[in-house]
């Protein structure tokens, strides 16, 4: 069984923590300092018979994924890069087509879910595995605990089931079967209104749609060819022209860009006659909003979840997340407060789903707070904007031991570098020299240059940029260790 981890989401409802270039799956939101992606890796680490995972992610996130896998001690079977986002059906198709053995069983999981009871999760996967091996397309239905209106639903056919008889899938009635599944899927439903959700909950025939699947690669591709052949054709074309980029499998951008966007549910599961649902009761949460994080967080005696440097007085049932500064709250109830270095969000907990409307307004205004944090991750380390105004910008740059920036030049800005910790090897034009703490240098406009950390501790320096244009797109890369030279 090969885990396929889908890591392509942007998590807009968890803004301002989750942003396009650093979305929620890369954040430690639920389990100490482990990110959601790393918790997903932990969940399948000791599954019997499991193999190394395949991770499908956006091209912009490739170094974040690689670094978090390295930190988790996981060597993936492949990291597949989507040149453009096209939803889950093409993403899973890429993973399935990349398999040397077409009958490999794929366990498809989003990278940004929380599952508290890992043993129960393993039991549900084990229950679905024989059916998947024989050709069924298995999904996992979350046993509902409330009439939730934020999830899609699956109605189970509790009168009939698939069984494996002499190595074949056979449809039969459920007489004599235990009433705990697996079940045939009768129908999928979109997010319901409150009265409809109450009716679903009362019937006992409905499960929340988890977006997790278990099937053979060949079974999924057969059904995709039946119901969405254009998606399969575009994915095949993309992989036929693929390129290997260091540790990444990169489908051809032009071929893949022609693929239409669709989900696994819409493209295949709602149309196939081979769908089954296995009940899953394992403390699942899709971490889709700040309300979700309040629900799964460690609440104090006043019902508050407090993260970071937070002081409260007379506050109840409130979520407060302090990212960089002290946050103090007085006399509040049923609110959410989230602070980062460049934004503060205050919301009614009952309306946390509407945060996406704020993100929409920010995008319409072309504001950068939707894409990046003040501290931006790069494969060699990080940089953080400390101050900026017309014609100057100050950054704090941290370079990991043994790493280096690209050999580059700028058309519109000069740079002053001051080393505050560690040792720097500087390439400036034809010169190569070493700087230590409290030493500095100057890079004129148009001069090729490179910064390296030859030491064993992180290199930290202050960069002062000056010039007519200071945008990140004023970088001409001449050489790059990370394959970023076009």
pLDDT (0 to 100) of residue 167: 55
Sheet holding 305-307, edge to edge: 305-307, 319-322, 335-339, 344-348
Question: Rounded distance, CA 137 to CA 365, Å?
Answer: 43
For residues 252 and 238, the answer to whether their CB atoms sit within 8 Å is yes
Domain boundaries, the chain: 2-285, 290-360, 375-479
pLDDT (0 to 100) of residue 76: 94
DSSP-based three-state secondary structure for 419: strand
Residue 389 dihedral angles phi and psi, to the nearest 5°:
-160, -170
pTM (2 decimals)?
0.88
Residue where the block lists tokens 């500087």: 426
pLDDT (0 to 100) of residue 64: 92
pLDDT (0 to 100) of residue 47: 83
Residue from 350, 343, 351 nearest 327 by CA = 343
- The verdict on domain 2-285 having CATH code 2.40.37.10 is no
**Total residues belonging to the chain:** 486
pLDDT (0 to 100) of residue 328: 98
Whether the bond into 288 is cis, omega within 30 of 0: no
Contacts of 99 (CB under 8 A, 6+ apart): 2, 106, 217
Torsion of Cα atoms, 251 then 252 then 257 then 261, to 10°: -20
Which tokens sit at 412?
């519109």
pLDDT (0 to 100) of residue 53: 95
For residues 256 and 184, the answer to whether their CB atoms sit within 8 Å is no
Which tokens sit at 124?
């549900």
Question: Rounded distance, CA 125 to CA 127, Å?
Answer: 5
pLDDT (0 to 100) of residue 165: 62
Topology match between the domains 2-285 and 375-479? no
Mean pLDDT by 10 residues, the chain (486 residues): 92 92 91 90 86 93 92 93 93 95 96 95 94 94 93 89 61 62 91 95 95 97 96 94 76 91 96 94 93 93 96 98 96 97 95 94 94 90 91 96 96 96 97 96 96 97 95 92 79
CATH of domain 375-479: 2.60.120.10
pLDDT (0 to 100) of residue 466: 96
Which tokens sit at 288?
């889709």
pLDDT (0 to 100) of residue 164: 59
Integer angstrom CA distances of residue 187 from 134, 141, 271, 303: 22, 12, 9, 38
């Amino acid at each position: 069984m090969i885990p396929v981890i889908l890591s392509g989401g942007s998590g807009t409802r968890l803004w301002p923590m989750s942003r396009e270039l650093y979305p929620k799956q890369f954040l430690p939101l639920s389990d100490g300092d482990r990110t959601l992606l790393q918790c997903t890796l932990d969940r399948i680490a000791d599954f019997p018979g499991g193999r190394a995972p395949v991770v499908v992610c956006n091209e912009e996130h490739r170094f974040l994924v690689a670094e978090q896998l390295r930190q988790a001690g996981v060597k993936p079977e492949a990291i597949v890069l989507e040149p453009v986002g096209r939803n889950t059906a093409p993403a899973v198709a890429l993973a399935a087509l990349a398999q040397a053995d077409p009958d490999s069983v794929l366990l498809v999981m989003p990278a940004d879910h929380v599952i508290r009871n890992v043993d129960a999760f393993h039991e549900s996967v084990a229950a679905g595995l024989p059916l998947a091996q024989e050709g069924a397309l298995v999904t996992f239905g979350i046993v509902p605990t409330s009439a939730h209106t934020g999830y899609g639903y699956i109605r189970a056919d509790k009168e009939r089931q698939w069984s494996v008889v002499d190595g074949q899938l056979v449809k039969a009635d459920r007489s004599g079967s235990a009433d705990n599944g697996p079940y045939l899927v009768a129908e999928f439903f979109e997010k319901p209104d409150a009265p409809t959700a109450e009716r679903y909950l009362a019937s006992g025939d409905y499960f929340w749609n988890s977006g997790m699947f278990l099937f053979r690669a060949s079974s999924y591709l057969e059904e995709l060819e039946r119901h969405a052949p254009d998606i399969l054709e575009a994915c095949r074309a993309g992989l036929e022209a693929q390129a290997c980029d260091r540790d990444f499998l990169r489908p051809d951008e032009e071929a893949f860009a022609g693929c239409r966007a669709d989900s696994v549910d819409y493209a295949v599961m709602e149309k196939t006659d081979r769908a089954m649902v296995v009940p899953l009761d394992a403390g699942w949460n899709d971490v889709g909003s700040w309300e979700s994080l309040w629900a799964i967080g460690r609440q104090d005696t006043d019902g508050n979840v407090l993260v970071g440097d937070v002081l409260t007085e007379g506050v109840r049932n409130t979520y407060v997340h302090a990212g960089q500064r002290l946050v103090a709250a007085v006399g509040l109830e049923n609110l959410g407060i989230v602070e980062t270095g460049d934004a503060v969000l205050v919301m009614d907990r009952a309306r946390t789903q509407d945060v996406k409307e704020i993100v929409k307004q920010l995008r319409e205004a072309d504001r950068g707070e939707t894409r990046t944090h003040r501290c931006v991750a790069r494969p060699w380390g990080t940089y953080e904007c400390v101050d900026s105004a017309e014609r100057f910008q100050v950054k704090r740059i941290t370079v990991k031991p043994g790493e280096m920036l690209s050999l580059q030049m700028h058309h519109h800005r000069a740079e002053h570098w001051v080393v505050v910790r560690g040792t720097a090897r500087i390439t400036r034009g034809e010169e190569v020299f070493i700087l230590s703490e409290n030493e500095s240098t100057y890079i004129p406009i148009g001069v090729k240059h490179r910064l390296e950390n030859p030491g064993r501790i992180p290199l930290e320096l202050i960069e002062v940029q000056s010039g007519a244009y200071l945008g990140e797109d004023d970088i001409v890369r001449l050489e790059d260790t990370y394959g970023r030279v076009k």
